Amino acid sequence: MSWDTWREAQYHKRAQISWGISLGAVLVTVFALWFAGLNHLIRLSDTQGDAIAVKLGSPDGENVPLKVNPIPDPAFVPEQSVSSVSEAVSQPPLPKAQTSKVTSSKTQTPSEPKKVQTPPQPQQQVRVVKGSETGNSMETIFQGGAGHVGRSLYVPIYLYMPLPTRLSPSLIAKIPDSQDGFETAQQRKDELLAFYRREGGLWRLTAQPPFESRPRLWLSLQDAGYNLADAEYKRGNTLTPVTLSFTLSAPHNGQPPVLLKVTLDRSSGNSEVDAAVLYGFRMSAFANGTGKDAQGLFTYDFDEK
């Protein structure tokens, strides 16, 4: 080997060693720097509750500390201030409110139930029915709620009045056959004279016929021309109007209403006339669509109005 060759080989050898030492120094330096930076970033403080710095994203990112809530020491019990306790005990009582204010506040408390105003009761409807018959007049006042109330069938009351105590033979002779053709004139005469007897020139009443027989007898006298407006029971007597108060039931199970109660409030002054008015009034039929009992007042006057 020549001198030049050996020297060139030594030169390359020394260059390689130099590069290896330089590279090793660089690696050591880099490792030392990396280790120092890592130790700085993840070093935990000895004090409890310090934040840990973490770099997110690029190495040049901003150090963002994580929030760590301090852990309370279970052995630590805060001492209660003696002065605050004593102040609470020694605090004077609140002054009493005036009675008038308390009363007014009670009346305004929302917890009290409000009085519910009941709707006004509907006024009772009043229906007045007036009429007249053979010189007499009548008035019926019906009181009830919503719905029709009245008399559906009227039976003339004069047909139940007391019969005349005396009749002339000429009047009896004028009795005709019945208008419906069911009775002859003689049959009607015999039926009427069954309650009379002949005394002198007149027929005198022996006894008042029952109420159920009176309508046919009065019709016979009416057909014969007897003046019903000037009937004997009205002559010589000052008859005052008869007043009846009554209670009418509501229909039940398809049955028509009935008179529950009829009271004689005012008399005519003649008991036989009062009885005739009571009987004739009860013979009528009534209607009641109010759904409840209805009250009424009936007046029978012996003057035609």
281 or 149, which is more confident: 281
Average pLDDT, whole number, for the chain? 78
- Residue 168 neighbours by CB under 8 Å, 6+ apart: 201, 202, 203
Whether residue 157 sits in one domain with residue 169: no
Has residue 224 been placed in a domain? yes
249 with 296: CB under 8 angstroms? no
Has residue 277 been placed in a domain? yes
Distance between CA atoms of 192 and 177, rounded to whole angstroms? Answer: 13
Distance between CA atoms of 114 and 241, rounded to whole angstroms? Answer: 53
Has residue 303 been placed in a domain? yes
Whether residue 269 sits in one domain with residue 155: yes
Closest CA relative to residue 137, chosen from 156, 111, 159, 163? 156
The range of the structural domain enclosing residue 23 comes to 10-43+51-65
244 with 262: CB under 8 angstroms? yes
- Over residues 120-148, mean pLDDT: 82
Query: Residues 39-76: pLDDT tens digits?
Result: 554 444 444 444 545 444 444 555 545 444 544 444 44
Please state the φ and ψ torsions of residue 139, each to the nearest 5 degrees.
-145, 130
Q: What does pTM read for this prediction?
A: 0.59
The model's confidence at residue 291, banded by pLDDT at 50, 70 and 90, is confident
For the chain, the C-alpha Rg in angstroms (whole number) is 63
Whether residue 209 sits in one domain with residue 178: yes
Q: Where are the alpha helices (DSSP H) in 43-123?
A: 82-89, 99-107
Give percent of the chain above pLDDT 90. 47
Q: What's the confidence (pLDDT) of residue 12? A: 75
Whether residue 266 sits in one domain with residue 129: yes
Has residue 85 been placed in a domain? no
Has residue 115 been placed in a domain? no
Distance between CA atoms of 284 and 296, rounded to whole angstroms? Answer: 14
Closest CA relative to residue 247, chosen from 194, 292, 189, 183? 292
- Domain's final residue, options 180, 200, 230: 230
300 with 277: CB under 8 angstroms? yes
**Which residue is associated with the tokens 């006004």?**
120
Of the candidate ranges 29-43, 85-99, 167-181, the one whose mean pLDDT is the lowest: 85-99
The interaxial angle of helices 185-193 and 214-224, nearest 10 deg, is: 120
- Domain's final residue, options 230, 248, 272: 230
Has residue 100 been placed in a domain? no
Has residue 191 been placed in a domain? yes
Distance between CA atoms of 174 and 223, rounded to whole angstroms? Answer: 8
The model's confidence at residue 216, banded by pLDDT at 50, 70 and 90, is very high
Has residue 111 been placed in a domain? no
The model's confidence at residue 123, banded by pLDDT at 50, 70 and 90, is low
Whether residue 199 sits in one domain with residue 56: no
Whether residue 203 sits in one domain with residue 143: no
Whether residue 301 sits in one domain with residue 245: yes
Going 158 to 162 to 166 to 167, the CA torsion angle's sign is: positive
Say how many domains are in the chain: 3
224 with 174: CB under 8 angstroms? yes
Question: What are the C-alpha distances in Å from 133 to residues 158, 207, 300?
Answer: 8, 25, 10
244: how many CB neighbours lie within 10 A of its CB?
21
